[in-house]
Amino acid sequence: MTVAAATSVVHASGLTLRYGRTAALTDVSFTLYDGVTGLLGPNGAGKTTLLRIVATALPPDQGTLSVLGNDPRTPAGRLAVRRRLGYLPQDPGFHPGFTAFEFVDYVAILKELTDRRARHQEVSRVLDAVGLSGQRGRRIRALSGGMRQRVALAAALAGDPDLLVLDEPTVGLDPEQRLRFREVIAELGEGRSVLLSTHQTEEVMALCQRVVVLDGGTVRFEGTPADLAAHARGRVWTSGARVAGALASWRAGDGRYRNVGDPPAGAELLEPTVEDGYLMLVDTPAREETGR
Amino acid sequence: MIDEGRAAMESWHLPDEELRRYGERTLAPPVLWSVEAHLTACAHCRHRLAAGQPAVLRDGWERLDAELDAPVPGAVERLLTRAGVAGHTARLLAATPVLRLSWLAAVVSTLALTAVLAAVLHPVVFLAAAPLLPVCGVALSFGPRADPTYEIAVVAPMHTFRLLLLRCVAVLSATTALSAVASLAVPDIGLAALGWFLPALTLTLLSLALTARLGPVLAAACVGLGWIAVVVSTRGAGATGSTVFVPAGQLASAVAAVLAAVVLARIHRAFESPRRFR
């Protein structure tokens, strides 16, 4: 056994899943460690499918998976994972007649917290953790989108899970709500593992210690955000006009154009960002990649 | 008199060991009652308890806080807990979509309409319609389309199959009680007016057995159409209008129910990892 496998929280190897004739994931392998890991990719990249597999909601067609040291393919392994998991789906549904407290209480019961007194203490704790203590008695249908998202996060936190799987947790939130949500997630990442999907590179920069880029159902990159940015080193330059042959070319705040791609000789190179590295990956066909 | 009691209480104090065990919540009656009675009257021992075990005091306040903040349960939950259902089970059942007033009103309306049609046309209208109600109810109680928290429930440690069964029992109980009342309106066929009961159980179990493969809505549709085909193909001139509702038909229904239950028990793990979420 390698050292990485011994200390990893999630270890996936060769995961493949098809929906009919469509391949959602093809030979996906990655390792997740403590801290916050971002799963970055465009819409339709297979992020939600991968998170559902990690969260034991879906079984893969092929491949091996270890989550918190358990094999989710076996009933006992699946149950062991579910007892230590917090999951926020992309589109968390609510029973509209429930209050915030009742909804989190309902999910806590599903998590086997059956003792009323202990469960109510836990519900109060997680609502407090997401800053919703004052809203616990309000009906969910009366809450804003950001508050609902925080209710869903509180439900995921019930039972103090070791692994949090969050599917696009900040989608649909306004900038202020997104900022508050990021603060909460960053705090949660201290002392446990968080896997969150996003298609926003600034989220990765703000939150994640590691990043996995998924595109077209395959892993295109796995490493630190700095490594992802370095992927575009020597491929980002500035110019006075739009460059037609570049992968991406846009006018920056200083009025000059920022270009990503193959720079011309003598171009004024810039320090790459995570977004530049990501653009290089997802806009470049896999066959041209040399890294992996 | 009370002052005398209080004075008597304060003339002695609890041993450290009893106070410690009270804080750890390991004391059992009747010593527990005695200690609580003394603490109520003796400020000195209350202070000793608070000073000696601040964590216990904090936990106590948190428990009290959580209890006071917990919302009052809704009507369905209160009804269920009064009927002896455990509090956490009542909350799970309160989230069953078809236990809402709108669904119950629809069931009552359907039963009233079919009972009237049974009186005007033939009792078979009621006998054939009543078993379909729990099938529809189950289809609308569980699954990605009906349950907004389905995905959360699937990955929760509580077995998905148990949640499904709980909701089925709730739906069956509600529709059975309402159908039994409606049976009183079906004219002059005696006990045969309850001929819907076994088919209702059978169709519910069959639709559950098919749900793992087809999903709840398609499974219910298949079972419903199959049931209508069976009733039509076995129609006769008797008081019930179909051989399904005579003793031989009821026996066949019971056998089918047992077989469906056996299949369901064998495939129950299929509910733990569904293939689809839409």
Asked if the Cβ–Cβ distance from A75 to B269 is below 8 Å, we say yes
pLDDT tens-digit readout, A189-211:
888 899 999 888 888 888 899 99
Residues B140, B193, single domain; the answer is yes
Chain B stretch 4-23, residues whose beta carbon is closer than 8 A to a beta carbon of chain A? none
B148 plus B246 within the same structural domain: yes
In terms of residue numbers, what domain contains B121? 87-271
Which residue from B63, B74, B156 is facing A110, i.e. has the nearest CB? B156
Q: Residue A197: which H helix or E strand, with range?
A: strand A193-198
Structure-token pair, residue B200: 């209702």
Total domains in chain B come to 2
User: Is residue A74 scored above 60 in pLDDT?
Assistant: yes
Distance (Å, whole) CA B117 – CA A125: 56
Residue A285 has pLDDT above 70, yes or no: no
pLDDT along chain B (278 residues), means of 10: 56 86 83 88 87 75 67 78 86 74 76 79 83 88 81 90 87 87 78 86 93 87 94 78 83 93 89 66
Tell me the pLDDT tens digit for each residue of A228-270.
999 899 999 999 888 888 888 888 888 899 999 889 888 899 9
Residue B76 lies in a domain: no
Q: Does residue B202 share a domain with residue B161?
A: yes
The pLDDT assigned to A66 comes to: 95
Question: How far apart are the C-alpha atoms of B173 and B82, rounded to whole Å?
Answer: 16
Per-residue confidence (pLDDT) for residue A292, from 0 to 100: 35
Of the two residues A40 and A175, the one the predictor is more confident about is A40
Q: Residue A54: pLDDT band by 50, 70, 90 thresholds?
A: very high
Pick from A83, A94, A121: CB nearest B148: A94
Residue A6, pLDDT above cutoff 80:
no
A83 and B157 within 8 Å at the Cβ level: the answer is yes
CB contact under 8 A, A119 and B88: yes
What's the pLDDT score for residue B53?
76
Q: For residue A234, which of A282, A204, A268 has the smallest C-alpha distance?
A: A268
Asked if residue B218 belongs to a domain, the reply is: yes
Residues B59 and B125 in one domain: no
B113 and B61 in a common domain: no
Residue B101 is predicted with a pLDDT of: 67
B183 and B262, same domain (yes or no)? yes
Report pLDDT digits (tens) over B57-70. 777 776 666 666 66
Return the percent helix, strand and coil in chain B, to nearest 5.
Answer: 75, 0, 25
Residues B111, B154, single domain; the answer is yes
Domain membership flag for residue B156 = yes
Spell out a b/e string for B157-195, using b for 16 or more CB atoms within 10 Å of the CB, else e.
bbbbbebbbbbbebbbebbbebbeebbeebeebeebbbb
Q: For residues B94 and B86, give the distance between their C-alpha atoms in angstroms, rounded to a whole number.
A: 12
Domain boundary among B40, B69, B98: B69
Residue spans per domain, chain A: 1-84+162-223, 91-159, 229-288
What was the pLDDT predicted at B145?
78
pLDDT score at A166: 95
Cα dihedral A230→A231→A237→A238 (10° resolution):
-70
Euclidean distance between CA atoms B92 and B149, whole angstroms: 11
User: Can you give the C-alpha Rg of chain A in angstroms?
Assistant: 21
pLDDT at A284: 59
Homologous superfamily (CATH) of A1-84+162-223 is P-loop containing nucleotide triphosphate hydrolases (3.40.50.300)
Q: What pLDDT, on a 0 to 100 scale, did the predictor assign at position B58?
A: 74
CB contact under 8 A, B65 and A124: yes
Terminal alpha carbon distance of chain A: 23
> B69 touching A, CB under 8 A?
yes
Tell me if chain A has a CB within 8 Å of the CB of B156. Answer: yes
User: Are A266 and A237 contacting, i.e. CB atoms less than 8 angstroms apart?
Assistant: no
Residues B131 and B47 in one domain: no
Mean pLDDT is lowest, of A18-22, A97-101, B109-113, for B109-113
Question: Smallest Cα–Cα separation from A163: which of A33, A3, A4, A30?
Answer: A33
- Tens of pLDDT, residue by residue over B199-251, are 999 999 999 999 888 888 899 999 999 999 998 888 876 777 788 888 888 89
CB pair distance less than 8 Å for B71 and A137: yes
Quick count: other Cβ atoms within 10 Å of Cβ B154?
25
B137 belongs to a structural domain: yes
Q: Are residues B119 and B211 in the same domain?
A: yes
Contact by Cβ (8 Å): B104, A159: no
The tokens describing A129, both together, are 């953790």
A109: nearest CB among B62, B91, B269: B91
pLDDT at A176: 80
For residues B99 and B198, state if they share a domain: yes
Whether residues B43 and B99 fall in one domain: no
- Residues B208, B153, single domain; the answer is yes
Return the pLDDT at A11.
95
